[in-house]
């Protein structure tokens, strides 16, 4: 049956082309561009036979072609939707990361947000002079306080520091060295020339994000399990 249809449509194409050429003494391309009634009828017949022949030849592949076309249409639709709601999707993604990744900072322009950890602390990853440093919020600390390891990673000259400031830590009273941090960045918030202290070796377990940084912000607050920082305009 399919072979017979193939011959029928093939003959139909040949006859239609012959009729198109015979209907005028112009060339075939000129005939295709004509719009009189007889020419239109011949063109419709030619299109019918061409489409019929293609359907007969590719009928077994049509379902697969349809599936491929449908798949890419769905992909294109999803991409359009994702682009249209890219800001909302980014916000959802960042909030999910903040819940799953300890120390992840959500940034919105000059605002930053940190989720409270399972131990009750607001742990975050800051950047001091470009170096990534894990820190813990401590509103009871009057200054940013760094361990020896964090100070070294930030490029501070720990060999020549003067430990002249007495501080209270979880391990008791100790001495710390005053320093000035070129840059302290939390999310999209960057403060320059931040006063800080470097604790003596072994006297501090965690780097503390204290008030010498927080006081430079326009505002900061704790709401539920989230710490929200707002940078100065």
Q: pLDDT tens digits, residue range 56-93?
A: 666 666 667 667 777 788 888 888 877 776 656 566 66
Within 10 A of 195 (CB to CB), how many other CB atoms are there?
Answer: 16
Q: What percentage of the chain has pLDDT greater than the value 90?
A: 24
pLDDT digits over 184-226, tens only? 999 888 999 999 999 988 888 889 999 999 999 999 988 888 8
Averaged over 30-58, what is the pLDDT?
A: 65
Model confidence at 33: pLDDT above 50: no
Q: Which residue has the higher pLDDT, 168 or 94?
A: 168
pLDDT band, residue 167 (cuts 50/70/90): confident
Model confidence at 30: pLDDT above 60: no
Model confidence at 121: pLDDT above 60: yes
pLDDT band, residue 170 (cuts 50/70/90): low
What tokens does 103 get? 């120390």
Domain layout of the chain by residue ranges: 2-62, 103-230
- Out of 22-36, 45-59, 60-74, which region has the weakest mean confidence (pLDDT)? 22-36
User: What pLDDT does residue 43 have?
Assistant: 73
pTM for this one?
Answer: 0.57
Model confidence at 154: pLDDT above 70: yes
pLDDT band, residue 39 (cuts 50/70/90): low
User: What pLDDT does residue 38 have?
Assistant: 61
pLDDT band, residue 95 (cuts 50/70/90): low
Model confidence at 129: pLDDT above 90: yes
User: What pLDDT does residue 32 have?
Assistant: 46
Model confidence at 31: pLDDT above 50: no
- CATH code of 103-230, in short, is 2.40.70.10
């Amino acid at each position: 049956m399919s072979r017979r249809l193939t011959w029928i449509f093939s003959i139909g194409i040949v006859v239609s082309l012959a009729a198109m050429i015979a209907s005028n003494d112009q060339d075939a391309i000129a005939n295709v561009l004509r719009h009189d009634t007889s020419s239109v009828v011949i063109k419709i017949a030619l299109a019918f036979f061409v489409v019929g022949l293609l359907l007969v030849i590719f009928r077994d592949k049509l379902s697969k072609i349809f599936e491929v076309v449908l798949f890419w249409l769905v992909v294109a639709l999803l991409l359009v939707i994702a682009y249209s709601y890219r800001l909302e999707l980014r916000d959802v993604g960042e909030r999910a990361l903040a819940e799953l990744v300890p120390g992840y900072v959500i940034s919105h322009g000059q605002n930053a947000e940190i989720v409270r950890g399972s131990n009750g602390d607001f742990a975050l990853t800051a950047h001091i002079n470009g170096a990534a440093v894990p820190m813990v919020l401590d509103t009871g600390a009057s200054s940013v306080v760094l361990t020896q390891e964090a100070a070294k990673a930030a490029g501070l000259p720990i060999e020549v520091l003067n430990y002249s400031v007495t501080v209270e830590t979880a391990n008791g009273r100790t001495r710390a060295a005053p320093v000035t941090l070129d840059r302290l960045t939390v999310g999209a918030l960057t403060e320059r020339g931040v006063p800080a202290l470097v604790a003596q070796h072994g006297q501090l377990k965690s780097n503390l994000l204290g008030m010498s940084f927080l006081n430079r912000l326009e505002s900061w607050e704790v709401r539920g399990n989230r710490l929200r920082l707002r940078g100065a305009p």
